Structure 1
Amino acid sequence: MTLNIRAMAPEDTPYGLALSQQVGWPHRLEDWQQSLALGRGLVAEEGGRIVGTTLYWPWGEGSATVGLVIVDPDCQGRGIGRELLSQTLEALEGYNVRLHATAAGQPLYRQFGFVAVGSASQHQGIVDPSFTAPTPGSGTRLRQGGEQDGAPLTALDCQASGLYRPQLINLLLTQGRVLVLESDTGEPLGFAALRPFGRGHTIGPVVCSNEEDARALVGAFMAQRRGKFVRLDCDSALPFCDWLTRQGLSEVDAPVMMVCGKPWLVKAGSPRTFGLMSQAMG
């Protein structure tokens, strides 16, 4: 049968959901819909049936992320993933591209020039009913984020990740829950978002300058979710991962971060990412 690669449309998301369920990923239909609304996607069709997907997000002019690269298990080994990735990278020509790779996907990505630059620890679990949130550091305080925070939080996120994502930040401010860490004078120093995802809620992005601030931001949301499921994806190299483990959020997976192009390096003194939006979107 002829393989047809075409742009993903909103009505394709239930078929993407079915594929992700086949490979054991926890996404809900709403997660697929949000992911496509923020980016673009391709589907592979064969005999009128969707047998593969990939989504990609150009963030600004120079950096992009790729995710939800899935091929029906019954159709794997026939080059479908290769064709999807090839056309995705054609659409992202000139971009530095990042993704998080499963062990099965790494050989394919290496063939397209991706190199491993680290890994992301997927921490999750039920928050202890007795969990107590750490207090924000001296000279700082937490408050609820609002639509007026779009520009400063976008700037903090871009400094930390190299990804210019105003549409993502504004979506989180209007549809999710966002906490802003600010100085006593009202200067935004960091932020974190909480939103429904998969089996429960995920915390991310988490952007701030140090682990003390990350604990305050994440801990505040964990205190809201006592006795409930929470997930957070964090750079495996950060000691913050050890704190998450001690709080009962165990590491259950650690996909490899891979880059095609120039890796992003956080400048000294800049905020950094302590929690990803998602493994797909970075």
Structure 2
Amino acid sequence: MTIFQPLDLRHLEGAVRLSRAAGWPHRREDWKLVVSISRGVVALDAGQIVATGIVTPFGGVGMVNMIIVDQNMRGRGLGRQIMERAMAQIHPAQWRLVATPAGQPLYEKLGFVACGQIRQHQGTVTDLPAVQTVRWATQDDMAGIADMDRDALAADRGSLLRALQGRGRIAIRPGKGYGVIRDFGRGRLIGPVVAKDLATARDLIAFLAHGLTGGFIRVDTTEESGLGPWLAEIGLAEADRAVAMQTDDARPTGAFTRFALAAQALG
């Protein structure tokens, strides 16, 4: 019999095994970051975790993420059950998620509509020149960084930014944009990157990746950002695609743009 429990740190090892079986690169530390700012549900069968679902509150926006069902348990409605139980924990004005092809039909049944394309780029970067007009952020910069992020996403991701401070490094061009690099999966992930223009986004990524020649880096970007061709030029080829989805047609209208995601789980 399948039982459901609130997801907490006790479940991380089982969650990592589940995501690895699904071909996801997430380490225990990657799961722990998401869990630390979220609420989640696990499904257990014979004492083993067979499904997970998480929701992350960002003010008026809720991100649905880490929806995984064990391959041997699919086709039984478990994906819908775990997702509905997770979503019942918070009540945002708008829901968002990034869908795999396998999950998209379920999300459409639950009222999500496609609103954009996500491009996963990864590889080993070329030798990038130093960027003098970007610097490492300090605590005094964090309020401005939160403002830029809120403008770009129309969501309050303060909890995420605070968590990233302790897990990575944040670069800033004051008043123009910021970016983060941290350990993730097979190497490092650059994101979020939020900027006023494409040139600033490229400079932020070049600053973050400088000195990491030959190291594995991943960047998840939106198709409309225009960042993809340059990422390919510096050695980060497109490796996969996904679909951004949400429950209404409201879009951010601020002066800043999200050029790279914090992760597909976190937008």
The TM tier, using the shorter chain, reads: over 0.9
Report what 1:146 is aligned to: 138
Please name the residue that 2:230 is paired with: 243
Match of 2:45 in 1: 46
Alignment of 1:57-136 (within 5 A): 57-60=56-59, 62-128=60-126, 130-133=127-130, 135=131
User: How many Å separate the matches in 1 of 2:145 and 2:128?
Assistant: 28
Note the aligned Cα RMSD (angstroms).
1.4
Query: Counterpart of 1:16?
Result: 15
Q: Work out whether 1:274 is the aligned partner of 2:259.
A: yes
Q: How many residues align?
A: 267
The one-letter code matched in structure 2 to 1:124 is Q
Report the Cα distance in structure 1 between the residues aligned to 2:248 and 2:87, rounded to whole angstroms.
11
Q: CA deviation at 1:88?
A: 2.1
Give 4+ residue runs of structure 1 displaced > 6 Å after superposition.
Answer: none
Whether the 8 Å contact between 1:147 and 1:173 is mirrored in structure 2 is no
Instruction: Tell me the SS of whatever aligns to 1:201.
Output: strand
Mapped partners of 1:264, 1:10: distance in 2? 34
Query: SS in structure 1 opposite 2:264?
Result: coil
Structure 2 residue aligned with 1:253: 240
Shift of residue 92 of structure 1? 3.2
Q: Tell me the amino acid that sits aligned with residue 253 of structure 1.
A: D
8 Å Cα contact 2:225/2:258 also seen in 1:
no
8 A Cα contact 1:150 1:166, kept in partner: no
The range that moved more, 149-158 or 203-212, is 149-158
TM-score between the two structures when normalised by the length of structure 1: 0.91
Alpha-carbon separation, structure 1, partners of 2:170 and 2:140: 12
Whether contact under 8 Å (2:128, 2:211) holds in the other structure is no
Could you tell me how far apart the structure 1 residues matched to 2:189 and 2:243 are? 20
TM-score (norm 2): 0.96
What is the CA–CA distance in structure 2 between the aligned matches of 1:131 and 1:232, rounded to whole Å? 16
* Residue aligned with 2:128, SS: coil
Q: Unpaired runs of 5+ in structure 2? A: none
Q: List per-residue Cα deviations over 1:75-132 (Å, max 9, x = no partner).
A: 111111110111122223343111111111011001100000111100000112x333
Q: Which amino acid aligns with 1:227?
A: G
Alpha-carbon separation, structure 1, partners of 2:92 and 2:258: 24
Contact 2:39 2:89 survives alignment (8 Å) = no
- String of CA shifts for 1:233-272, please: whole Å, max 9, x gaps: 00012221111111111111110011113432323xx111
Tell me the percent identity. 35
